[in-house]
A = this chain, B = another copy of it.
Amino acid sequence: MPDSVIPLAVPVLSKNDAAARENRKRFDAAGLLVLNVVSSPGSGKTTFLSRTLQDVSNVVRCAVIVGDLATDNDAQRLRVAGTPAVQVQTGTVCHLDATMVARAADQLALERTDVLIIENVGNLVCPAAYRLGEDLRIVLLSVTEGEDKPLKYPTMFKSADVVVITKTDMAAAAGFDRTTAHDTLAAMCPSARVFEVSARTGEGMVSWYRYLTDALALSRGATR
């Protein structure tokens, strides 16, 4: 590691941690369950979230903040079933930080929201270091990416509360080794809850919805 990179991270991260704590207080006060959804580009975050919004919006009021370097494609895709979605364009910045999230949250009616979903920039490295004030960090891993990714991106996977294995409809075509994937996840993030889903076919999504509604109930119990 070159010394030109290391010292810079510390003040940026402690400043971010302070902003994340402020976000967390604000979100707790509003009774929100907040998810920080991260993955590699193309793991299917937006498809997974779009299907989730479609299927749960009758019972859970969701709002979305979505980060991308460029375009507002994802916010448009996530405005399903009346869900408000704010796009943050980060330019060349490789992650969302807590200040960006605070500004985006100003545009949402938090008091009329149950679950705030933050879809992070597609990147398995940098977003790992930036807490946003979330309750749960949800890491997606698609069956096409290879079972070794948790070993190669340890910081992200070790910080996961939930891992969602996506695109299971393509598992056979990809030669996905399910046993190896689960063994690797058990080694890297033994306490993470693991789901296997296909947002395209709907397979496995109901277990995820049950987890989400349970987590919401639990977070409300905890903040009462």
Contact = CB atoms under 8 A, between A and B. Distances in A.
Interface of A: 1-2, 4-5, 8, 11-12, 15-16, 40-43, 68-71, 73, 90-94, 97, 99-100, 121-126, 128-129, 142, 144-146, 148-149, 151-155, 167, 170, 173-174
A91 B1 contact: yes
Nearest to A146: B42
Given A69-B155, A124-B122, A153-B41, A4 B12 contact: yes
Given A40-B40, A154-B69, A100 B170 contact: no
Contact of A100 (B2, B144, B145): B2
Contact of A151 (B73, B100, B167): B73
A5 B12 contact: yes
Contact of A122 (B16, B97, B152, B174): B152
Contacts of A123: 94, 123-126
